[in-house]
């Protein structure tokens, strides 16, 4: 039994795989104040919902972009499941080659996304991840991770707008009924939603221009679905792409 854990700035996604099949997964808010035992109670509670005993988990694979939480989940895995987790970095064996100037700078979630996308679709391919940050990662036809783009996510942009503009406030990230807002809330919604769609499509076009040919584009992340429907380039989305990448990387260590 493999437990895949994707620790993000906003959400943590946890899924369990049995013989390569996803049993279930959960997306919850990331809590930077977790203790090891709180983390253990939380994860074993999710396992219980999936009717899995902690002793059934014999592998754990983790991607984390929250340094404060990485050792918490690592210690939790050892204490509550007696498993030393595989922590994804550029230093472990990977089914792709990373061509970043300094591979250590590539986030583990971006590595997992790239592995999952390339395994499923081949290359060239672009992965758009809508989260706290929007990341676009580019993988070549031969499986080389070429690099990508990092931009603020819509929730991050909305929070900063509310923080810095005295008369503005946070709104839900959703597509408004019309582009021309007739209230402050709808105007902000329009700017955040259509601004994100336009920004991502413009960057994808620039990537295509730089490559000299079009690449397939897929998306992931908790906010992906609505944006994908309005993109000119994104073909589909997979909300558990990072978990799939963690599974593939974990299996790769076993030579599977």
Q: For residue 217, count other CB atoms closer than 10 A to its CB.
A: 25
**Active-site residue (options: 109, 129, 137, 201):** 109
- Tokens representing 77 are 């895995």
Q: Which residues contact 250 (CB under 8 A, 6 or more apart)?
A: 2, 4, 59, 61, 86
239: left (phi over 0), alpha (psi -120 to 50) or beta: alpha
Catalytic, 109? Answer yes
What CA–CA distance (Å, rounded) separates 252 from 5? 17
Q: Which among 47, 50, 124, 123 is positioned nearest to 81, based on CA atoms? A: 47
Burial class (CB in 10 A: 0-12, 13-18, 19+), 84: exposed
Q: Which residues contact 125 (CB under 8 A, 6 or more apart)?
A: 117, 118, 138, 139, 215, 216, 217, 218
DSSP 16-50: EEETTEEEEEEEEE--TT--HHHHHHHHHHHHHHT
Q: Is the dihedral of CA 102, 152, 237, 10 positive or negative?
A: positive
Q: Which amino acids are annotated catalytic?
A: 109
């Amino acid at each position: 039994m493999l437990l895949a854990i994707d620790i993000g700035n906003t959400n943590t996604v946890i899924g369990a795989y049995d013989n390569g099949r996803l049993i279930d997964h959960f997306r919850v808010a990331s809590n930077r104040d977790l203790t090891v035992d709180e983390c253990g109670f939380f994860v074993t509670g999710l396992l219980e919902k999936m009717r899995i005993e902690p002793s059934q988990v014999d592998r754990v694979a983790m991607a984390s972009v929250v340094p404060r939480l990485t050792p918490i989940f690592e210690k939790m895995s050892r204490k509550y499941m007696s498993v030393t987790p595989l922590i994804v970095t550029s230093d472990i064996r990977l089914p792709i080659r990373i061509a970043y100037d300094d591979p250590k700078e590539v986030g583990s979630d971006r590595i997992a996304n790239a592995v999952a996308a390339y395994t499923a679709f081949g290359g060239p391919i672009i992965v758009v991840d809508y989260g706290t940050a929007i990341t676009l990662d580019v993988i070549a036809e031969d499986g080389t991770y070429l690099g990508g783009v990092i931009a603020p996510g819509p929730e991050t942009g909305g929070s900063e707008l509310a923080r810095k503009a005295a008369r503005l406030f946070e709104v839900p990230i959703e597509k408004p009924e019309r582009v021309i807002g007739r209230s402050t809330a709808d105007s902000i919604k329009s700017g955040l939603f259509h601004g994100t769609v336009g920004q991502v499509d413009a960057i994808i076009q620039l990537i295509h221009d730089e490559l000299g040919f079009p690449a397939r584009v897929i998306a992931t992340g908790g906010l992906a679905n609505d944006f994908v429907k309005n993109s000119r380039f994104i073909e589909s989305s997979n909300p558990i792409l990072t978990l799939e990448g963690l599974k593939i990387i974990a299996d790769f260590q076993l030579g599977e």
